[in-house]
Chain A
Amino acid sequence: MSRAVITGVGVVSAFGVGAPAFFGGLAEGRGAVGPIRAFDARTFPTQVAGEVPPVAPPVLRERLGSLDTGAGLLDSLGASGALRDRKLVFGLLAAEEAWRSARCGPEEQEAALSVALGLEQAFLEDFGPLFDEGRIQWTREPEAPLPSVRFRARLDLAAEALRELLGLRGGTTVHVSACAAGGLAVAHAAALIERGEASVVLCGATDSMVNPLGIGGMSRLGAPSPRNTPDACRPFDRRRDGLVVGEGAAMFVVESEERARRRGVRALARILGWGRTQDAYRVTAPRPDGASARRAMERALRHAGLSPEAVGYINAHGTGTPLNDPAEVKAIRGALGAHAERVTVSSIKGAVGHLMAASGAIELAASLLAFERDLLPGTANLLERDPECDLDIIGPTPRPARVDVVLSNSFGFGGQNVTVALGRVT
């Protein structure tokens, strides 16, 4: 069986474009949540987000133009209106960085693609010109003077664009498992390597709900914190009252350890195992006892052949919602037993927001800090730990520590759970 390793990473986050900006922000214990600028949110209940700073067109063109296909792809996506879909832009930028950082070339174009994408971007404004007499007049659709992408961008458009940008020839899998999708995409990539179905995979996730429908829909659900302040999301804190929507992307190059060694590329981490479960509980809430999340962690450890005592750090799903955090603590206690008292836990969602489909991927990227800098990310805005969340949870300041095994948890709306185990490359 081939062991999968991560050899390249690219990140787009509220800290800006690029993994250095992301790692730098986390290492300094900063937060990047702020007022929404992508659209006028003054009439919305939710007015803050972990929004990616604007990417100037020349910067986008310069970054992607380093690839043979970049300029042409940008032209065609721009002409079709597809670049209005923010997650598409984020995904392309993160993929380019991951590809470059793994020193990929023509040989790696055999790569498969395993990518998690959020919902189709729908543009409420596109429906407006068709709306008359209390309904949508569909017959006007072909003639209406609208931007080229209408109603919704085809979901796999971003996957197609990634393939075209990098000239990938392997199969494409698009994961749509809500907030668990990013972790599932990386786990799937590792599975393809382990099963010998691929020797290299570009994987990860990109998402943005920082648009009127996304922010409005989440507000209607009551998921975001009602505070409209940069410290609105407070994972594991007694005063926590909801999440903050984030956006961005994290992409990885994953390949077999032998392949990485053969081409002389440094591995950033091993993907040791993963576990997937489904709550099968309620549409609107996670299991309060954390039983299914616990099983996901147990499965990941079993797959990795590890005992609970091997785990040094858990990058928690840690949404900052009243229901998630105590359930996750119960899950950790259940999975690790007595070792739960000694393991270190944190969540980065207070700093960059909840990236939805991309959250699992960006949190795996954050977990690389543990191996790259011997530093565990902090939990922004955690000032008064909830007594129900009685683990060693890092506060806002990152903690220097050397750990060899990290678990990253992601739990999705609808009850989908995934835990990915990463290991230090020694």
Chain B
Amino acid sequence: MMGRTSRVAIVGVGAVSAFGLGWRGLGGTVVEGKPLRSTSHALAVTHPGIEAAQVPALAPAQDAGDGRQRKLMSRGARLAAVVMREALRDARWSEGREEVGAFLGVGASGGAMEELTAMLQAGITACNPLFAFQLMNNFTLCHGAILEGVGGPNGAFFSRGGGTVRALREAVATVSTGECERALAGGSDSALHPVTWAELGREGFAARGLVPGEGAGLLALSSRPEDTALAWLERCEVLPVEGLSRVLAGSHGQVDTVLTAAWGPGIAGELESTVARLGVPVSDTVTLLGEALAASPALAWAVAVDLLAQGRAHRVLVLSLGVDGELGLVELAGAQR
């Protein structure tokens, strides 16, 4: 468990969600806003009419790499590359990037359907030879690292929620132990891939109200005194769901806001009623941002930092519960305290 004494500063954030590129303002959107839903473009051919929380088209200057580079990227990789650039910019880390760490929760393979279709129609030689780079899920991390020159300790963790919290834990440990002084941590994914959506359907999540989403979120963590803290990371754990009561007992009296990132309305409601004993406001980020699988916990952390940076909260507990059933617990405190 990450102890309360090994605090790490959050000095930058990158996020892209159904509300577009950027993290500032996301807190207010989640606490007060309405879901932003539209019919999924990515599923239009295979699963027409699916309501989703999809990332709007990005302007060329906001997007990742150039056209040729984007052809090698899965959707998750493309979104990760976008937020990696944004988080680095937000943290003002323009120098020494070869020593910056990167730890990401990444989702399933995300090859382009046109390549798969070509393969089925005319055999493997019909598809783009570089199709493999869309399929390999470690490239969700690597494309951004290559574009941005991020060369420190790194790891990609498969995530349907919990793996992203583990990525953050690993980043925190890496910074705390001095393996590197600065690291990016978060997740990127899209539930709006036809195969992913079909699998979620077969597992029964769609029938239970899961709204597919997509996005990416990254925190820039630092132990360097010269980096200015936006917030402090106080705690980061992955727990079995039954461990929640113990955790809540430890947080009582300090946390003033709870954010949940739970994959469906039913499960969000259950979490909400469990944390009601804290007597603090509770908001669910997935209700607004959709279930973005590996990205969902990270988007909730971005929301938390925004609430802290605005002074709308002083200590935020983020509870994530992904489709893997793992409970992630991250506690963040405002920098001004």
A residues contacting B by CB (< 8 A) are 117, 119-120, 122, 124, 127-128, 131, 134-136, 138, 141-142, 150-152, 154-156, 171-178, 181, 184, 188, 191, 195, 197, 212-213, 216-222, 275-284, 292, 295, 299, 303, 412-416
Asked if A176 contacts B154 (CB within 8 A), the reply is: no
Q: Give the docked Cα–Cα distance between A120 and B72 (Å).
A: 18
Chain B residue, CB-CB nearest to A1: B177
Asked if B146 contacts A415 (CB within 8 A), the reply is: yes
Q: Give the docked Cα–Cα distance between A228 and B194 (Å).
A: 36
Asked if A120 contacts B109 (CB within 8 A), the reply is: yes
Residues of A within 8 A of B116 (CB): 127, 136
Closest CB pairs A-B (n = 4): A414-B142, A216-B124, A174-B158, A276-B153
Most chain A beta-carbon neighbours within 10 Å: one of B127, B150, B173, B194: B173
> How distant is A127 from chain B, measured CB to nearest CB, in Å?
6
Asked if B106 contacts A176 (CB within 8 A), the reply is: yes
Quick check: is B301 within 8 A (CB to CB) of the other chain? no
Majority secondary structure of chain A interface residues (helix, strand, loop or mixed): mixed
Q: Give the docked Cα–Cα distance between A146 and B302 (Å).
A: 42
Asked if B150 contacts A177 (CB within 8 A), the reply is: no
Chain B 193-208, CB-CB to A under 8 Å as 1, else 0, gives 0110011001000000
Asked if B136 contacts A119 (CB within 8 A), the reply is: yes
Chain A residue, CB-CB nearest to B238: A171
Asked if B154 contacts A175 (CB within 8 A), the reply is: no
Asked if B173 contacts A195 (CB within 8 A), the reply is: yes
Chain B residue, CB-CB nearest to A173: B166
Chain A residue, CB-CB nearest to B159: A174
B residues contacting A by CB (< 8 A) are 1, 45-47, 69, 72, 97-98, 102, 106, 108-109, 113, 116-117, 119-121, 124-125, 127, 129-133, 135-139, 141-143, 145-146, 148-158, 160, 162-163, 166, 170, 173, 177, 179, 194-195, 198-199, 202, 238, 324
The verdict on A152 contacting B130 (CB below 8 Å), with A175-B157, A277-B151, A278-B150 known, is: no
Q: Give the docked Cα–Cα distance between A131 and B113 (Å).
A: 12
Q: Give the docked Cα–Cα distance between A176 and B198 (Å).
A: 22
> How distant is A145 from chain B, measured CB to nearest CB, in Å?
15
The verdict on A152 contacting B120 (CB below 8 Å), with A277-B152, A278-B102 known, is: no
Asked if B199 contacts A174 (CB within 8 A), the reply is: no
Most chain B beta-carbon neighbours within 10 Å: one of A119, A278, A282: A278
Residues of B within 8 A of A283 (CB): 69, 72, 130, 133, 139, 142-143, 146
Q: Give the docked Cα–Cα distance between A280 and B170 (Å).
A: 20
Chain B residue, CB-CB nearest to A137: B46
Q: Give the docked Cα–Cα distance between A19 and B306 (Å).
A: 52
Asked if B195 contacts A176 (CB within 8 A), the reply is: no
Asked if A176 contacts B150 (CB within 8 A), the reply is: no
Residues of A within 8 A of B109 (CB): 119-120, 122, 152
Q: Give the docked Cα–Cα distance between A414 and B156 (Å).
A: 11
Asked if B138 contacts A412 (CB within 8 A), the reply is: yes
Residues of B within 8 A of A119 (CB): 109, 135-137
The verdict on A152 contacting B125 (CB below 8 Å), with A277-B152, A292-B151 known, is: no
Q: Give the docked Cα–Cα distance between A228 and B160 (Å).
A: 39
Q: Give the docked Cα–Cα distance between A125 and B150 (Å).
A: 39
Q: Give the docked Cα–Cα distance between A142 and B142 (Å).
A: 35
Asked if B146 contacts A282 (CB within 8 A), the reply is: yes
Extra pairs beyond A119-B137, A191-B173 (10, CB < 8 Å): A124-B120, A128-B120, A175-B155, A191-B170, A212-B124, A282-B146, A283-B133, A284-B133, A292-B151, A416-B138
Among B69, B137, B145, the residue within 8 A (CB) of A278 is: B145
Chain A residue, CB-CB nearest to B239: A171
Q: Give the docked Cα–Cα distance between A122 and B157 (Å).
A: 20
Can you offer 12 A-B residue contacts whose CB atoms are under 8 A?
A: A120-B108, A124-B120, A134-B117, A142-B202, A156-B160, A177-B138, A221-B130, A275-B153, A278-B151, A413-B136, A413-B142, A414-B141
Residues of B within 8 A of A295 (CB): 98, 151
Asked if B152 contacts A278 (CB within 8 A), the reply is: yes
Q: Give the docked Cα–Cα distance between A212 and B119 (Å).
A: 11
Asked if B166 contacts A415 (CB within 8 A), the reply is: no
Chain B residue, CB-CB nearest to A134: B121
Q: Give the docked Cα–Cα distance between A221 and B129 (Å).
A: 5
Asked if B158 contacts A415 (CB within 8 A), the reply is: no
The verdict on A197 contacting B1 (CB below 8 Å), with A174-B158, A416-B142 known, is: yes
The verdict on A281 contacting B163 (CB below 8 Å), with A174-B157, A174-B158, A176-B106 known, is: no
Q: Give the docked Cα–Cα distance between A221 and B146 (Å).
A: 19
Q: Give the docked Cα–Cα distance between A213 and B132 (Å).
A: 10
> How distant is A293 from chain B, measured CB to nearest CB, in Å?
11
> How distant is A243 from chain B, measured CB to nearest CB, in Å?
13
